[in-house]
């Protein structure tokens, strides 16, 4: 939030009514947290393979920082994005590779379930055969295009080519 405000201070022509955030893995969790917890700053988010519940994260090092979930359940609950699902008021695109062995697809599926239960609209893009890092794979180009189209649509940004899809209109905002 501080970076957005500082960028706006340095560049007064920035449109603070159309701020989006996107990320993958830890940054995907940050993107989700941004629209869930600070919708006054972030108006749309694209979140890929984000950890939504630390109890289901497939990395033992997490316990070194927040303790064992049986001993410190309150820490795990405080870090959960699932509990914030009812707060969603901004557009959110969730993405996840179904072959992800680092952040299991369970994270995205449980978040989607919680959003549906709370009556919150969102979009989900599941990627069959894709692991934790889709960049550099056969789906990279289409995945990036999908994200750009989502953000343009949600933020009301016209395409540079007046809505016509071309091969050159891949990731430019």
Euclidean distance between CA atoms 80 and 136, whole angstroms: 30
| Whole-number Cα distances in Å, 21 to 28, 72, 96 | 9, 31, 17
Q: Which DSSP state fits 56?
A: G
Q: Which value, in Å, is the radius of gyration of the alpha carbons in the chain?
A: 17
Q: N- to C-terminal Cα distance for the chain? A: 21
Catalytic residue among 27, 132, 159, 169: 132
The residue written with tokens 């309150």 in the block is 74
164 catalytic residue (yes or no):
no
Query: What count of Cα atoms within 13 Å lies in the side-chain half-sphere of residue 153?
Result: 11
132 catalytic residue (yes or no):
yes
Catalytic residue among 80, 100, 107, 112: 100
27 catalytic residue (yes or no):
no
**Cβ–Cβ < 8 Å for 128, 98:** yes
Q: Which residues are catalytic?
A: 25, 100, 132
């Amino acid at each position: 939030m501080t970076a957005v405000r500082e960028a706006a201070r340095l560049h007064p022509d920035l449109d603070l009514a159309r701020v989006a955030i996107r990320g993958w893995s830890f940054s995907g969790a940050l993107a989700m947290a941004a629209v869930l917890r600070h919708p006054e700053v972030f108006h749309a988010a694209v979140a890929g393979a984000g950890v939504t519940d630390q109890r289901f994260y497939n990395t033992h090092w997490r316990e070194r920082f927040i303790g064992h979930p049986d001993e410190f359940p309150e820490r795990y609950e405080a870090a959960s994005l699932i509990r914030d699902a009812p707060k969603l008021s901004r557009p959110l695109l969730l993405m996840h590779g179904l072959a992800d062995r680092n952040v299991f697809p369970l994270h995205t599926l449980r978040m989607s379930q919680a959003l549906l239960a709370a009556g919150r609209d969102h979009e989900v893009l599941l990627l069959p055969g894709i692991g934790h890092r889709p960049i550099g794979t056969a789906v990279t180009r289409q995945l990036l295009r999908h994200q750009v189209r989502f953000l343009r649509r949600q933020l009301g940004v016209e395409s540079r080519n007046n809505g016509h899809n071309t091969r050159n209109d891949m990731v430019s905002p």
